[in-house]
Amino acid sequence: MVIGAFPNTRLRRLRQSAWMRDLCSENDLTPSDLILPIFVREPETSPHIPSMPGVLRLTLDELIDVVHQAADAGIPALALFPTTPVELRCPDGSEALNPDNLICRAIQTIKSLNLNIGVITDVALDPYTDHGHDGVIINGRVDNEATIEILQQQAYIQAKAGADALAPSDMMDGRILALRHYLDDRDYADCLLISYAVKYASSFYGPFRQAVGVQQLSGLKDKKTYQMNPANSDEAMREIAQDIQEGADMIIIKPGMPYLDVMQRAAAQFNIPLLAYQVSGEYAMIKAAAQNGWLEEERTVLESLIAFKRAGAHGILSYFALEVAQNLSA
Ligand code: PBG
């Protein structure tokens, strides 16, 4: 005779009251889990991002107040993205190498505040190229080696401006090793490399592209020759293994919620800090539903974020980070 666990075991017994649920909670979410992405702009650029209601592009002046709020709420780090004025964009993204560009001035502005908050900057050319791709196009393809040469210089000027961590999101092969050596040779051995090792060619980046002013990709119609196929997760493990070997300090998996299986596999397989990126399209979906009264925003956001912790993420980049951290620390 098979003897069932019931009635000796009643799993509902542990759910009766808040104290039991809190005590037995397997994961928790704290402000120190959250990284806030911020779009910075020149004063002439509009602050509004229609597909990301509630997120504004910030001038360097406006940035100061938000950075103080983030530090006060216990957020450990910010991820900065520039909206480069259209007239400064060109095929090889040379504005990325201008030591006085918007992103370098943003880094300097934040570091001059002397707060206990990390500054992470993106290493990739898409906010600077007129075609919107992450690298330079040669003979009809995004050229791996030519792009890496530019990324090395981009990384160097960001490190020089004071960035604590650089996050290459370009998906060129071998860029982690190339950047690591380039930085080490120039006295930036302590600058972290947070690799977007696993970055899918995703439709969920749409609102981000609007935010940084990439209207439409040209040259190549999509990023599928360098970003990953959403059908794959073995390949994601290879990307992570390779970037760890090349010297990555942390790994980002993005987008977030559609790829929780990839996060879970990565957490089981690797002993390295893993970050999930709840990307712009995920933000837009929750926000739009909430604005229509179809979802209750605060609870939905918390549920979406704890899911990343459950899957094994050590931290989460989210456009909701500031309000969530403020609520959690209130
Ligand atoms: C590009 C980059 C993208 C994002 C971060 N860095 C977009 C892209 O690859 O087209 C997307 C982030 C988001 O959607 O929130 N280097």
Distance of CA 57 to the CA centre of its chain: 16
Is the CB of 282 inside a 6 Å radius of any atom of ligand 1?
no
The closest-lying atom of ligand 1 relative to the alpha carbon of residue 319 is 15
What pLDDT score was predicted for residue 216? Answer: 86
H runs (alpha helix) in the chain: 18-23, 60-72, 102-111, 144-161, 175-184, 206-211, 234-246, 260-269, 280-291, 297-311, 321-329
Identify whether the C-beta of residue 166 lies closer than 8 Å to the C-beta of residue 179. Answer: yes
What pLDDT score was predicted for residue 3? Answer: 67
What pLDDT score was predicted for residue 296? Answer: 98
Mean pLDDT per 10-residue interval, the chain, length 330 residues: 81 97 97 98 98 98 98 98 97 97 98 98 97 96 98 98 98 98 98 98 97 89 96 98 98 98 98 98 98 98 98 98 96
Q: Closest Cα to residue 175, out of 142, 222, 214?
A: 142
- Cα torsion angle, 21, 26, 32, 38, sign: negative
Question: In this structure, are strands 137-138 and 141-142 parallel, antiparallel, or unpaired?
Answer: antiparallel
Task: Say how many residues make up the chain.
Answer: 330
Distance, in Å, from the CA atom of 65 to the CA atom of 61, rounded to the nearest integer, reads 8
Identify whether the C-beta of residue 196 lies closer than 8 Å to the C-beta of residue 279. Answer: no
- Ordered domains of the chain (ranges, CATH): 28-217+237-329 (3.20.20.70)
284 burial via Cβ count (<10 Å: 0-12, 13-18, 19+): buried
Going by CA atoms, what residue is nearest to atom 11 of ligand 1? 205
Q: Closest Cα to residue 167, out of 208, 214, 134, 129?
A: 134
Going by CA atoms, what residue is nearest to atom 5 of ligand 1? 169
Going by CA atoms, what residue is nearest to atom 2 of ligand 1? 169
Q: Closest Cα to residue 128, out of 176, 95, 105?
A: 95
Identify whether the C-beta of residue 62 lies closer than 8 Å to the C-beta of residue 105. Answer: no
217 C-alpha vs ligand 1 centroid, how far in Å? 13
Statement: the pTM of the whole predicted model exceeds 0.95: yes
For a substitution probing ligand 1, which of 200, 205, 228 has the most ligand atoms within 8 Å of its CB?
Answer: 205
- Cα torsion angle, 138, 135, 144, 103, sign: positive
What pLDDT score was predicted for residue 1? Answer: 58
Distance, in Å, from the CA atom of 162 to the CA atom of 81, rounded to the nearest integer, reads 15
Q: Specify the 3-state DSSP secondary structure of 52.
A: coil
Phi, psi of 308 (to 5 degrees): -65, -40
Question: What region does 171 belong to: left with phi over 0, alpha with psi -120 to 50, or beta?
Answer: left
Structure tokens at 19: 């104290």
What pLDDT score was predicted for residue 90? Answer: 96
Q: Which residues are catalytic?
A: 199, 254
